[in-house]
Amino acid sequence: MFNLILFGPPGSGKGTQSERLVEKYGVVHLSTGNLLRAEIAEKTPLGIEAKSFIDKGQLVPDEVVIGMVDSYFDQHKGARGFLFDGFPRTVAQAKALDKLLELKKTNIAAVLALDVNEEELVKRLLNRGKTSGRSDDTDESVIRKRFSVYNNETSPVAEHYKKAKKFQAVKGEGSVDEIFARLCEAIDARMKKQQD
Ligand code: B4P
């Protein structure tokens, strides 16, 4: 299996790039943001709980997200690999993922982190908010809150993977095509290393 994590602050292009990466590499896309929004749309108990956190720019509790990832994994038993998008977002989630992958006798090949400056991120998110109908993208104070949650709770996840020598920063500014080319270059190099 070849498993990747696409890491980065809100609006850094994780969702945008993931769509292209799963098509090119044939791995299964696991976006916790998309899974949570699907639960919200269906008004499930999990979705109703998640919405109350997302609307405030907070993270959904770890046990809710980890349970959701666990069952998604079980639904995709034959996968040749996963692209984790927006997960893990806390150190507890990263540790839970390590355990889950160990049980499946696999691991993370690389963590690619999209690097984008904050003002560009705010611009992108407010712009998306005009058409997406996403409540967490229309209010600038909620967007700023998401950045502070990212800095406090999600940034330490980078350290977790730096220690394991899996972390690689990738410039996330420029055109979607340019960023995609940078990501593919990094992935191809990791794949080659895994085969050697
Ligand atoms: P997510 O759905 O993961 O979304 P995101 O961080 O907002 O965005 P992403 O980085 O994917 O941005 P995108 O490519 O779309 O999370 C939403 C919420 O769900 C979280 O705040 C949290 O509450 C909850 N949640 C999710 N996972 C969780 C977890 N594991 N634990 C706890 N809670 C969790 O790009 C954004 C915009 O930029 C788009 O409009 C796009 O068109 C544009 N864009 C992309 N690339 C561009 C480029 N190169 N140039 C210009 N614009 C670009």
Q: Are 192 and 116 in contact (CB under 8 A)?
A: no
In short, whether 11's Cβ falls inside 6 Å of ligand 1 is yes
Q: Assess whether 37 carries a catalytic annotation.
A: no
Atom of ligand 1 nearest to the CA of 175: 49
pLDDT at 110: 96
Q: Taking 90 as the threshold, does the pLDDT of residue 19 lie above it?
A: yes
**Separation of 196 CA from ligand 1 center, angstroms?**
34
Q: Assess whether 146 carries a catalytic annotation.
A: yes
In short, whether 136's Cβ falls inside 6 Å of ligand 1 is yes
Residue indicated by tokens 């993270």: 59
Q: How would residue 196 be classed by pLDDT, with cut points 50, 70 and 90?
A: confident
Mutation to probe ligand 1, out of 5, 34, 36, 64 (largest number of atoms < 8 A from CB): 36
Q: What percentage of the chain exceeds 70 in pLDDT?
A: 100
Q: In what order do the strands lie in the sheet with 28-31?
A: 28-31, 82-85, 3-7, 108-115, 167-171
108-115 and 82-85 as β-strands: parallel, antiparallel, unpaired?
Answer: unpaired
Over the stretch 40-82, which tens digit does the pLDDT of each residue have? 999 999 999 999 999 999 999 999 999 999 999 999 989 999 9
Residue indicated by tokens 């700023």: 144
pTM: 0.93
Which one of 95, 128, 145, 190 is the catalytic residue?
128
Which one of 37, 51, 124, 146 is the catalytic residue?
146
Please report, for residues 101, 104, 189, the alpha-carbon distance to residue 164 in angstroms, rounded to integers and kept in the order given. Answer: 15, 19, 17
In the three-class reduction of DSSP (H, G, I as helix; E, B as strand; rest coil), residue 112 is classed as strand
Residue 85 is which amino acid? D
Q: Assess whether 123 carries a catalytic annotation.
A: no
